Amino acid sequence: CCRLFANPVEQNGTLTGAVLIIMDVTEQERREALRREFAANVSHELKTPLTSILGTAEILRDGLVRPEDVTHFAGNIHREARRLIDLVNDIIRLSRLDEGGAVGQWESISLRQVAQSVMEQLRPAAEQKKVAMALEGDCGLVRGVPQIVEEIIYNLCDNAIAYNREGGSVILTLSQVEGGQRLSVADTGIGIPREAQNRVFERFYRVDKSHSSGGTGLGLSIVKHGAAYLGARVELVSELGKGSSFTLTFPCGNTDC
Ligand code: ADP
């Protein structure tokens, strides 16, 4: 945890003492290790779609694809390029939150309005998966940065649809609780094993790669960092095979309660 430096003090060539410096480098080293791990993960996550784009472009260039299959292969390139853009955008979002820099103005926000707007944006994805979405209850206004609040709710709902079963449901519930204003997003999906419940908020952690939504692996990190930036709390309750519920609570300090 600590680094020790000993500097001898000499006077006219005679050793008269020593200065001992003890530095706690635990936090510094932890941050550095996290930074290295993140850089390695980013390189890997960028390489995967790039390798796929390159390979597909090469076989198209070399005329190895039958004309009737060109659309399919071009579609693959488009999907992988989309993944790259999503990834880069998520990395930018995360680094802005990390720096605590300019992420937008604080305003009074209606969680109901944001939830409705997110549901509208995700309607096509929900319909495609035959997942029903509903918004229940109500709560007071909260103080926050609108873009961050929307990103948090969007990522939670996006996952609730992606990791759901066909014909399942996603229920958004607003409530005013003793400690503040609350929004919960509950799904009837695959659930998250107990041992993974803390880890899902880590960058690039995925419970099961074969069940990945094709997302960036950064959605819940953005949720966690965004909530911390706003002084809000995120809690997860999940049961494997039954579903998950993420709860976002804005404490009274930054709400109208
Ligand atoms: P991804 O882009 O992979 O969805 P996230 O950071 O949003 O990345 O989520 C991390 C992982 O947590 C996902 O890969 C998935 O395994 C798990 N997860 C997130 N939300 C849910 C959910 N509602 N139901 C089941 N698993 C989930």
Tell me which amino acid residue 184 is: S
- Residue 166 pLDDT: 96
Q: Report helix angle 70-99 to 26-61, nearest 10.
A: 160
Tokens of 109: 């926000």
**Closest ligand 1 atom number to CA of residue 221:** 6
- Kindly state if the Cβ of 192 falls inside 6 Å of ligand 1: yes
Return the residue whose CA atom lies nearest to atom 14 of ligand 1: 206
What are the b/e assignments for 179-206, b being 16+ CB within 10 Å? Answer: ebbbbbbbbbbbbbeeebeeebbbbbee
Q: What tens digit of pLDDT does each residue of 112-123 get?
A: 999 999 999 999
What is the C-alpha to C-alpha distance for residues 224 and 232, in angstroms, rounded to an integer? Answer: 9
What is the C-alpha to C-alpha distance for residues 226 and 93, in angstroms, rounded to an integer? Answer: 9
101 pLDDT band, cuts 50/70/90, is low
**Closest ligand 1 atom number to CA of residue 208:** 16
Q: What tens digit of pLDDT does each residue of 219-257 get?
A: 999 999 999 999 999 999 999 999 999 999 999 776 655
Q: Indicate if the pLDDT at residue 72 is higher than 70.
A: yes
- Residue 192 pLDDT: 97
- Kindly state if the Cβ of 198 falls inside 6 Å of ligand 1: no
**Closest ligand 1 atom number to CA of residue 201:** 6
Q: Name the residue of 203, 206, 208, 248 to mutate for ligand 1: max ligand atoms within 8 A of Cβ.
A: 206
Q: Please, which residues have CB within 8 angstroms of residue 160's CB and are 6 or more apart in sequence?
A: 170, 185, 186, 187, 189, 244, 246
Return the residue whose CA atom lies nearest to atom 13 of ligand 1: 206
Backbone angles phi, psi at 42, to 5 degrees: -60, -45
Tokens of 28: 């510094």
- Residue 117 pLDDT: 98
- Kindly state if the Cβ of 212 falls inside 6 Å of ligand 1: yes
Q: What tens digit of pLDDT does each residue of 23-49 get?
A: 777 888 888 888 888 899 999 999 999
CB 50 within 8 Å of CB 84:
yes
- Kindly state if the Cβ of 244 falls inside 6 Å of ligand 1: yes
**Highest-pLDDT range among 9-13, 150-154, 253-257:** 150-154
**Highest-pLDDT range among 10-14, 63-67, 92-96:** 63-67
pTM of the model: 0.86
What is the C-alpha to C-alpha distance for residues 230 and 224, in angstroms, rounded to an integer? Answer: 10
